[in-house]
Amino acid sequence: MRAVLLLCLILPLSLAQAQSLQVQPHAFQARDDRGVQARPRPLSVPAVAPPPFAQVIEREVPALMKEARIQGAAVGLIVGGKLVYAKGFGFADHAGKVPVTSGTVFAAASLAKPIASWVTMRLVEQGRVQLDASVADVLSPWPLAQSPFDPRLITIRHLLSHTAGTTLGGYQGWLDFKELPSLEESLAGKTNGRGAVELFAPVGVKFQYSGGGYTLMQLAIERTTRRKYSDLARELVFRPLGMKHSSVAMTPQVLAGAAQGHGDDGMPVPMRYYVEQAPSTLTTTVRDFARWMIAGMANTAGAHPLTQARLAQMYTPAELSTPRAPDEVVYGLGHFIERLGDGSTAVGHDGRNQAGFRANFLMRPQSGDGIVFFSNSRSGLALDRVVCLWGADVARVDPVTTCKK
C-alpha cells in the first residue's frame, strides 16, 4: 500500500514537560522473533509534570475511537529526545477483556520500511552492502520479468527511495503461514492476487511507492549477506536499541502476543502473514518504537547505532533525473519528508494492512520531538487527527481550520 503523510500533520513541535510512566501488566505478552517471551522494560524518564498536549490526547482519542469504532490504540509522545507520554486506550482483544497499554504489541505494517532503511544503512556502514552498486550483480538470474528498461541501473538507494521504477505498492498477505511463498516466488507473482513486481519506468526518474521494490531489496540483502533478513533486523536494530518486543518475523509464535485486528464493522479480522518483511512486517510497541525514533534524532541520550551522517542521508530527499512537481511526494531513504514552516525537517511514515492495523509516526530529528500511534482497527486512521492537533498546538495555528474532520 502507498503511505501518504497528510500535509496538515506536518507541523513543528515545541518542548513540553515530561512525566514518569510505568508499563502496565497485560495478557498479550511481547515475544521476540524467535517466539520467546520478553519482559517489558520501561524507558527511563524523569518524574515531572505531564506535557500539556497529553490533555488533548486524552480528550480526543476516546472520542475518535467511539466515533470511528476503533477497538484499541496506543499513543506515544517524544519531547526533547525523551518519551514523555505513552498510554493505551481501548482493548487489545475483541471481547474487551484485555486493555491496551504502552506495552501492547501491534502490527505496524509499512512502518517496516523505515526499519528496513536502518538495517540497510547499518550494513552499508559495516561495508557489507553497497548503497550505489547494481543489485543485478547479486540477483542473477534477474528475478523480474523482461522489461524495456535496464535493471542493471537499479541500486539499493533507488529501492529504498522508491525511485527504481518498480511496481506493486503493497501486499495482501496470506491467512495460512504455511502458504507463504519464497521471495523469488513473490516477485514472480505469487502474491495472493496482487500480481508480479515489474520494472515499469526508467530508473531514477520519478517517485513510485513500491513495496515490491523493498522486496527486491530484501532478496538482494539476503543474497549478499547470506543471512535471513529477520535475523539482521534483530542483530542490527532491535537488539542494540533494546527493542525486546519488536520483530519483523511475523510467525504464529511472534503474533501469539499481538493485539487482535478489527475491520471497519468492528468485527475481528484474521491475522495475515507476509514473506515480504522489508516492506510489510513489523510488530512492536509504543515504547519500543519510541526507542528507535529517539535513536534517529540528533543529540539525544541512549544508543545511536547509526552515525549522524547516515541519518542525514535517510532524511535527504532522493535525487530524481527529472524535475519534481510542486505537489509531488518527497521521500528519502525509508522516510517521507516535509519542510516545516520554521525551515526544519519532519520525517515519518504511516502503515496499514489487511489484518486491520493502522499506524503513523512523525518526528523532527533535529529538535528531538515526535509522536506515534498504533491501532488495531482499520478505521484507526481517524487518529491522524490527533497528530494534526498536536502539530497545530505546538505551531500555534488554529486547529479548527488546520485539522478539519
Taking 90 as the threshold, does the pLDDT of residue 388 lie above it? no
Q: Quick: pLDDT tens for 329-357.
A: 999 999 999 876 566 788 999 999 999 99
Give the integer Cα–Cα distance in Å for 74 and 112: 18
Lowest model confidence (mean pLDDT) among 82-86, 198-202, 339-343: 339-343
Taking 90 as the threshold, does the pLDDT of residue 286 lie above it? yes
Domains of the chain: 52-395 (3.40.710.10)
More confident residue, 389 or 195: 195
pLDDT (0 to 100) of residue 298: 83
Give the integer Cα–Cα distance in Å for 298 and 364: 9
How far apart are the two ends of the chain, measured CA to CA in Å?
23
Summarize the confidence of residues 46-59 as an average pLDDT.
78
CA-closest candidate to residue 83, choices 307, 368, 304: 368
Confidence of residue 195 (pLDDT cuts 50, 70, 90): very high
Give the integer Cα–Cα distance in Å for 162 and 154: 11
Lowest model confidence (mean pLDDT) among 2-11, 113-122, 294-303: 2-11
Q: Quick: pLDDT tens for 11-43.
A: 333 333 333 333 333 334 444 444 444 444 444
Which percentage of the chain shows pLDDT scores above 70?
85
